[in-house]
A and B are shown apart, each in its own frame.
Chain A
């Protein structure tokens, strides 16, 4: 059965991130937070206030920050890197690869301000390809939580899991869709709606928009199967194949490039295991720009209406 998802309030993932690490530091004393001088944006500053003894300012030097975290991890610390996704993933990609991923060191890389909604910063700060890069890296676990309650469990799972992990975060408040009964399991996708006409497979905060799209489609009499995929790697292939088997048509939805992200992963999986018609909703191989959130979602095609439209298009084929 689908978990009953409900939209009652909003939470910013970045705030949940700072607050949750404070709580986890009590249970996991090896936690350290390394900041690339963006603490009051990523809200690592919440942690800096509550645990100054475990907060390390690393300055505007992401490459060195990755290496420093690797060195700390060899001593048994659990370093959480905190910076923007754009800089964590691309500015320091070779460092992540050489001293974190290859030796499988226990570093948790949190990429703040991912996707389109980055507070009017525009193309340099909007991370459109971070999932693709991290997913291609051997040994790397990639997690993209949808809301605050899920992120709280993801951060706890990050402390339990030994090995490198990338956690994709967002800036702005977004709907809370999971309640206390929700149980995040690393590597498992979650069926949010059962349906037979079309499957929407989504990740991250885009899942909250996919829920709205499903509601629109249901009103039109279209039966939607909604699968939320918080762990992009390792991918829950069985759940994706099941969604395709149940419906025969798949829409993917993510605040990321349609190349190499969730859409890419689903297309790879289904083309090998259960060839299915797919429509990928996400960034259409483009860079972004600055602007108000609503205008950006509209222009770059990430609104619930765009997701619903893709489903209708598939149903015509």
Chain B
């Protein structure tokens, strides 16, 4: 581990006073580690991981009540990565937060690695659910939130979903039932990047039109109609993310959805807004350019090893 890892591992449970620059730096490291790990594994997803990096950093460094040295702490906040194909962003964040050495990110997708292509809760401590089949993560989150109510415990359940997987009917099954049980201890965060793996063709084969009305207010209206409290934010503005999470926890009698407008492939110029980078391996040159653009050329996973 390099010096930055050591700092991350010794961090207190939450950063009570977030330094936006520090969190932005961590998000840049997470993005760089995603690109490096996918390059090293010669496989994996990048567009979705880059779009949700700021959300994950805000959650793991400021919002979630967790103990990285005690991943199974019974009263921890729960987190489910419903968009499981963005696993490398979660792994990079967990490493930065001190769950395991950053060096282990280089085992991503390898045989016998705890860092599976899609999250496997039986292999990696700190994962609260196995995911990867889209549209399925909100329901276990509902179960956890309902269970916390039955147990009289006051921890919170957070589920990160993608807008592509909102095309699955199960999301709306869960939305109805969570509202019916008034689960105010459940918050979904929607990584609203408006692109998916292949999508709907635009003017040319290189272009894609959004699957939904790109106006987040239209998406917000759907969730509100299903009985959810809704908040709209810029999903790359970390102070806004933290503020929205605080609001979500304070809201009573309804579950909350935070609709976070994002850019797929955010942070790397040639990946931003390009659907082809949903799952594509960068060349060595593309990796170097990405690390430069993210300001992480000197903060590589394997520095010092």
Chain A hits for B131, CB < 8 A: 98-99
Q: Which residue of B lies closest to A60 (CB)?
A: B173
B132 with A68: CB separation less than 8 A:
no
Chain A hits for B281, CB < 8 A: none
Min CB gap A47→B, angstroms: 16
Is residue B174 within 8 Å, beta carbon to beta carbon, of the partner chain?
A: yes
B122 with A59: CB separation less than 8 A:
no
Mask for B145-189, Cβ within 8 A of A = 1, else 0? 111101100000000000000000110011011001000000000
Q: Which residue of B lies closest to A53 (CB)?
A: B150
Chain A hits for B137, CB < 8 A: 67
Chain A hits for B129, CB < 8 A: 70-71, 74, 99, 103
Chain A hits for B143, CB < 8 A: 67-74, 79
Is residue A66 within 8 Å, beta carbon to beta carbon, of the partner chain?
A: yes
Is residue A269 within 8 Å, beta carbon to beta carbon, of the partner chain?
A: no
Name A's interface SS.
Answer: helix
Min CB gap B225→A, angstroms: 17
Q: Which residue of B lies closest to A66 (CB)?
A: B139
B139 with A63: CB separation less than 8 A:
yes
Classify chain B: how many residues form its interface, as a range. Answer: 20 to 34
Is residue B23 within 8 Å, beta carbon to beta carbon, of the partner chain?
A: no
B176 with A68: CB separation less than 8 A:
no
B146 with A68: CB separation less than 8 A:
yes
Chain B hits for A104, CB < 8 A: 122
Is residue B126 within 8 Å, beta carbon to beta carbon, of the partner chain?
A: no
Given contacts A61-B173, A64-B170, A95-B139, whether A75 and B132 have CB atoms under 8 Å apart is: no
Chain A hits for B128, CB < 8 A: 74
Chain B hits for A59, CB < 8 A: 173, 176-177, 180
A64 with B120: CB separation less than 8 A:
no
Among A67, A73, A97, A103, which residue has its beta carbon within 8 angstroms of that of B139? A67
Chain A hits for B170, CB < 8 A: 61, 63-64, 67, 95
Task: Report how far A255 CA is from B145 CA in the complex, Å.
Answer: 39
Chain B hits for A97, CB < 8 A: 133
A63 with B173: CB separation less than 8 A:
yes
Min CB gap A268→B, angstroms: 27
Closest 6 CB pairs of A and B: A71-B143, A67-B139, A61-B173, A64-B173, A71-B140, A68-B143
Cross-chain pairs A/B with CB under 8 angstroms, 11 sampled? A59-B173, A63-B139, A64-B174, A71-B139, A72-B146, A74-B140, A75-B147, A99-B139, A102-B120, A103-B130, A104-B122
- Residues of A at the B interface (CB closer than 8 Å) are 32, 56, 58-59, 61, 63-75, 77, 79, 94-95, 97-99, 102-104
- Residues of B at the A interface (CB closer than 8 Å) are 120-122, 128-133, 136-148, 150-151, 169-170, 173-174, 176-177, 180
